[in-house]
Copies of this chain bind each other. A is one copy, B any other.
């Protein structure tokens, strides 16, 4: 059901394909665009909702760090205007509005645009992705999220408690906190996939466990692994751009934080590589388990058949209606017959035990 729905949305995918003066949001969330502006410096921090019709760069107060949180992308017009207000091209608005857009980190003079996707498991342990864009222009940071999920709640709390003296540092550290939240979500997702795969492995390793729908389960995990890899691999590749960047956003004193993010990305890549291998080995295991089960079924059929088919032949012989079948008239014929059959059965049984019953 849920899946179907997701599909119907998906079919609208990449409809921002043609060059145009104007682009639309083509994702599945219907959240109304809301903008929250947080301004802080070493001493103060205050937050307020602003209207989508404001002129955004006028709201910037240079005595503060300014963080615009745009949640909901339905108001494409406003988003295009923000992007233009901070000196970016129309086409960058298109990237922000297109959830299927590839991960990219782009630098324009003193501006930095990061387009990526976060992955997380929702309450029903279904994987979800959210298209997130971050624009850094001097002391202003703008985050764009598709929904009103509180993804950056942790960052806001860090600002309030002035963790790591974040309020003393520039936009670089704020960016680091934002990225850390997103990357931590992906780390959590990949760890969850790995754990679920290990659970499947445990089930498959003991062939006596019911393996009813293991095939579909493996497939589902593979699906999730692919979503994670698709969103993290290019991020890892692009991340070095950030480290090499010379626009002053990432100063040397906050470099360790970025190195830590790079390590977390390496962890994701290694884990997802690990997932890939585990999945491929689970498929092998699953297939060979099916084969073993088949072998067991056939063995049983063969045993029953080998045991009874010759005996049934024998009783058929003595059920024939020939006039002259001397053994039929013997006093102990019936007992002898039974004896022969039992002996036959036992011999077959022993023979099978010796040869087949490995």
Per-position 1/0 for A277-321, Cβ under 8 A of B = 110010111111111111101111110111011111101111111
**A324 contacts across to B, CB distance below 8 A:** 331-334
Within 8 Å by CB of A102, from B222, B267, B309, B320, lies: B267
- Determine the chain B residues whose CB is within 8 A of the CB of A311 once the complex forms: 313, 316
A242 at the interface (CB under 8 A from B): no
Q: How many chain copies?
A: 5
Within 8 Å of chain B (Cβ to Cβ): is A216? yes
Contact B294 A304 (CB under 8 A): no
Residue among B90, B263, B281 making CB contact with A219, cutoff 8 Å:
B281
Our pick among B11, B95, B293, B322 for the contact of A333 (Cβ within 8 Å) is B322
Is residue A50 within 8 Å, beta carbon to beta carbon, of the partner chain? no
Please choose the segment from A12-20, A62-70, A131-139 that sits at the chain B interface, where 4 or more of its residues have CB less than 8 A away.
Answer: A12-20
- Beta-carbon contacts of A166-190 to B below 8 Å, as 1s and 0s? 0000000000110011001001100
Main secondary structure of the interface of A (DSSP, over half): helix
Nearest-Cβ distance from residue A181 to partner chain B, whole angstroms: 8
Kindly state the separation between the CA atoms of A311 and B304 in the bound complex, as whole angstroms. 12
Contact with B along A197-226 (1 / 0, CB 8 A): 010011001110010000110011010001
Are A323 and B329 neighbours in the complex by a CB distance under 8 Å? yes
* Size class of the contact patch on chain A: 35 or more
- The answer to the question of A328 belonging to the interface, with a C-beta cut-off of 8 Å to chain B, is yes
**Is residue A256 contacting chain B, with contact meaning CB distance below 8 A?**
yes
Bound together, the chains give a CA A287 to CA B210 distance in angstroms of: 20
Tell me the complex Cα distance, A315–B318, Å: 8
User: Which chain B residue lies CB-closest to A190?
Assistant: B14
Could you give, for residues 251-289 of chain A, a 1 whenever the CB lies within 8 Å of some chain B CB and a 0 otherwise?
000001101100110110010001001100101111111
Closest CB-CB distance, A87 to chain B, in whole Å? 12
Chain B residues within an 8 Å CB radius of A270: 102, 230, 234
- Taken together as a complex, chains A and B put the C-alpha atoms of A176 and B18 apart, in Å, by 11
Judged by a CB distance under 8 angstroms, whether A164 is at the interface is yes
User: In the assembled complex, which residues on chain B have CB atoms less than 8 Å from the CB atom of A215?
Assistant: 207, 285, 288-289, 292
Interface residues of A in 82-107 (CB under 8 A from B): 89-92, 94-95, 100-102, 104, 106
- Residues 218-257 of A, flagged 1 when their CB comes within 8 A of B and 0 if not, give 0110100010001000100000000000000000000011
Q: List 24 A-B contacts (CB under 8 A).
A: A13-B191, A19-B158, A19-B176, A19-B257, A20-B163, A94-B260, A95-B260, A102-B267, A207-B215, A226-B277, A283-B284, A288-B290, A290-B295, A291-B291, A295-B297, A297-B299, A298-B298, A300-B302, A301-B302, A309-B312, A318-B320, A322-B330, A323-B333, A324-B333
The interface of chain A, by Cβ under 8 A from chain B, is: 3, 7, 10-11, 13-14, 17-21, 89-92, 94-95, 100-102, 104, 106, 154, 158, 163-164, 176-177, 180-181, 184, 187-188, 191, 195, 198, 201-202, 205-207, 210, 215-216, 219-220, 222, 226, 230, 234, 256-257, 259-260, 263-264, 266-267, 270, 274, 277-278, 281, 283-295, 297-302, 304-306, 308-313, 315-325, 327-334, 337, 356, 358
Which 8 pairs between the two chains have the least Cβ-Cβ distance? A315-B316, A318-B320, A17-B184, A322-B334, A89-B256, A301-B302, A319-B319, A290-B291
